[in-house]
Structure 1
Amino acid sequence: MLKKAVLLVALLSTHHANATSATSNVYFEDARRFAQLFKSTPSLSAEQLQKSYIDKGSTGVEIFTPMRIKNGANMAKKIAEKPEVYKRAIDYCLPELEKHIPTIQQASQLVQQFLDYQDNAHTYFVIGADNSGGTANSKGLALGLEKNCQFITNNDEFADYFSYMVAHELVHVYQSRHGAPAPKKRTLLYQSLREGVPELIAQLTVNKLDKLAKARSKFGLKNEETLKPVFFADMDKHAFGIWMYNSKVDSQPADMGYWIGMRIATAYYQQASDKQKALQELIELSDPVTIAKQSGYFKML
């Protein structure tokens, strides 16, 4: 299956130079519209943002609004608090990122073809309320440029960072479309696989990691035999504790559940005789307990 990923990269590279925003499923229109508004009136009012940005937004803004942008008033407040964040996003990150549309498009195509899905998944770059890097549902993926821009320190990081982000988050789109309904109360095991499967697929396609994912990998490989039994004891709990959606815990990087989930998914994928079927089962995630058992990851405990 790894050979399949390499072949996909080679095939898509032949189309790399011809990819443009006109033929891409990567959309920047919301970010561009915000840039025009901000440059004309840096102190944007709640009403201006609501009428000229949110109400006119694409599917990406629609995805990003409920729990993130919320409304024009909330966005106006965030811009007033940190105008420099928004200025950097539109003056530096937006024009630089637009140079990498073919690379971002390629990441999207790699994920789709690797998973063998016929349905395209669109990526929308939007401007948010400085509280989220991205989210996804069955309609597509929305990335908050002003938030992600804060993690970019130089031009060389753009291609790798956003290839990883798009690959990871697009898997969430396909999980929403093709996965089993999420349980009302999610266990740590379920949620770790929910995040770990996109980590695995990002590595098998674009083979990129962001800084935090690299830190998790380095720490995890060094401390795996210590981490494994602690996670095993917690994995049926309906609380995520030190494992998910948290800040750094002591010397442990944030969100190590992502990494453990990836390790379980990797073990399950590697032991499967039918790799494509295994991928579909990992996306569907209807029985995380069986996946964990059959993976053999906790076999020696």
Structure 2
Amino acid sequence: MLKQIYLSLLLLFSTCGFAQNIQSRKADSLYAVKSYIAAGRYYLLAAGTDEFKSLKRNEYYNAACCYALSGKADSAMFLLKKAVEYGYKDGAHLKVDTDLDALHSMPEWATLVARIGNIKASTNDPLKAKLVTTDIKNFWKAYDLAHQDTANRLAIYKKYYVEPGTVGLQDYFAIKVGSVKKFVQTHDSKPKFYAAIRKNTFMVESQKPQMIASFVKLKQLYQAANFPDVYFVIGAFTSGGTSTESGLLIGLDQGVRTSDIPVTELTLWQNNNFNNLSNLPNTIAHELIHFNQNGMKRDTSLLCGVMIEGMADFIGELISGNNANPRLHVWAKGKEKQIWADFEKEMYLKRSYNWIANSKQETADKPADLGYWVGYQICKAYYDKSVDKAKAVNDMLNIKDYKAFYQESGAHMLFTNAAN
């Protein structure tokens, strides 16, 4: 069983995902037909061309699996250590991955398993989670150097921003950006915008009390909650936030709006999703809920998709005091009945692309991502009718039957008699 790097449940319904190069896709095909030696070689080729450490660690792990299955235990152990060197830390998966059974008798196995087991990506103490802003400082250093030597700006961003980047930056770029070239192209197209946001990107620390207060509130509502570090990065305006096993990853360039920032270079969707700086704690609260959705059963239905996103908005609002996507609620007012009718036509189908991460469908008359609003209403209905609020939160974060939850919430009756 190949180890694909952990993604937030959010990514099941996102247009973004860990980028795969040609060699990696070829390796997957060879693995599927049990041509393990050839697959391993292609994974190593992929590792040599991948730009981000998050991708390299995946390739090295997969190569280790292939070499182990081919009876080359020494090579497999060497590659597994390379995966750990590049940030692999899923000890639970390592122990049950039968592809690596051939390594269990090696002296290094127990040491490696123990080493990974001691790597903690999160804590159950909300006060111990860290806000990591190293990448912001590195970005502005690279930014200044790149503007002094524009002909070499791609190489400069690689050397001073991406390569020394935190594990959070590596994951974010692999999931949400795709390549350094795309990153540079985005920045080239928005010079006034990026020049103007500098001062706001250094204001994260001033909002730390509100962020930590949200973490503490979640602990009060949900004792099983885990609290990862929060990484702030400058991306390519593709995502305000996501989460991986490494922590919460915040695209700060999408969340530092103040009235003095020029927005003429932004598209309609970008402008509508350029969030206020004061809303940053709410975005982080939203992503914190995603990080704690491991107990939920996954499927590809629209209902599951809106529940995942709407729940992050709803519980995020409970713990932070404000909604991460307020514009959707403003737009939906007076249109609830029609939205719900449209949703129920597709709720059990694989139609998340019409409701979530559908930025290309954004128009001046209708926003994208209305699935967030729908899921919020379902969760709110369930919570409001529950006597035990902590149990209601626990039920949400551990849903196994979405249809039953939907029926029990009574959300389908909310707007039946609405005038619109």
Class of the TM-score when normalised by the shorter of the 2 chains: 0.7 to 0.9
Name the CA distance, whole Å, in 2 between partners of 1:234 and 1:135: 25
Report the CA distance between 1:241 and its aligned residue: 5.4
Q: 1:179 aligns with which of 272, 276, 295?
A: 295
Report the CA distance between 1:181 and its aligned residue: 4.8
State the match for 2:350 in structure 1: 238
User: Do the aligned partners of 2:311 and 2:375 also contact (CA within 8 Å) in 1?
Assistant: yes
Answer with 1 or 2: which has the greater Rg: 2
Q: 2:317 aligns with which of 199, 203, 220?
A: 203
Sort the Cα spacing of 1:190 and 1:152 in 2 relative to 1 into closer, same or farther, 3 A.
farther
SS at match of 1:142: strand
State the match for 1:88 in structure 2: 196
Name the CA distance, whole Å, in 2 between partners of 1:148 and 1:62: 19
User: Do the aligned partners of 2:129 and 2:230 also contact (CA within 8 Å) in 1?
Assistant: no
User: Do the aligned partners of 1:27 and 1:123 also contact (CA within 8 Å) in 2?
Assistant: yes
Report the CA distance between 1:263 and its aligned residue: 0.8
User: Do the aligned partners of 2:210 and 2:320 also contact (CA within 8 Å) in 1?
Assistant: no
Name the CA distance, whole Å, in 1 between partners of 2:316 and 2:225: 18
Report the CA distance between 1:121 and its aligned residue: 2.0
User: Do the aligned partners of 1:200 and 1:266 also contact (CA within 8 Å) in 2?
Assistant: yes
Sort the Cα spacing of 1:142 and 1:115 in 2 relative to 1 into closer, same or farther, 3 A.
same
In structure 2, give the amino acid aligned to 1:237.
L
What whole-Å deviation, never above 9, does each CA across 1:66-117 have from its counterpart, x for those lacking one?
1323333332333333233332232x21133333232233333333443223
Name the CA distance, whole Å, in 1 between partners of 2:232 and 2:171: 11
SS at match of 2:228: coil
State the match for 1:3 in structure 2: none
Sort the Cα spacing of 1:154 and 1:274 in 2 relative to 1 into closer, same or farther, 3 A.
farther
Tell me, which stretches of 5 or more residues in structure 2 are unaligned?
1-126, 262-274
Name the CA distance, whole Å, in 2 between partners of 1:196 and 1:234: 16
Sort the Cα spacing of 1:118 and 1:292 in 2 relative to 1 into closer, same or farther, 3 A.
closer
C-alpha RMSD over aligned residues: 2.7
User: Do the aligned partners of 1:111 and 1:170 also contact (CA within 8 Å) in 2?
Assistant: no
Residue 146, structure 1, aligned to residue 265, structure 2: no
State the match for 2:84 in structure 1: none
State the match for 1:289 in structure 2: 403
Residue 47, structure 1, aligned to residue 158, structure 2: no
Sort the Cα spacing of 1:282 and 1:138 in 2 relative to 1 into closer, same or farther, 3 A.
farther
User: Do the aligned partners of 1:268 and 1:296 also contact (CA within 8 Å) in 2?
Assistant: yes
Give the percent of matched residue pairs that are identical in Structure 1 and Structure 2: 23
Matches within 5 A, 1:156-235: 157-159=276-278, 161-175=279-293, 178-183=294-299, 186-210=300-324, 213-235=325-347
Name the CA distance, whole Å, in 1 between partners of 2:225 and 2:374: 30
In structure 2, give the amino acid aligned to 1:289.
K
User: Do the aligned partners of 2:215 and 2:319 also contact (CA within 8 Å) in 1?
Assistant: no
Report the CA distance between 1:164 and its aligned residue: 1.2
Name the CA distance, whole Å, in 1 between partners of 2:237 and 2:413: 43
User: Do the aligned partners of 1:242 and 1:249 also contact (CA within 8 Å) in 2?
Assistant: no
Name the CA distance, whole Å, in 2 between partners of 1:169 and 1:30: 19
User: Do the aligned partners of 1:25 and 1:105 also contact (CA within 8 Å) in 2?
Assistant: no
SS at match of 1:96: coil
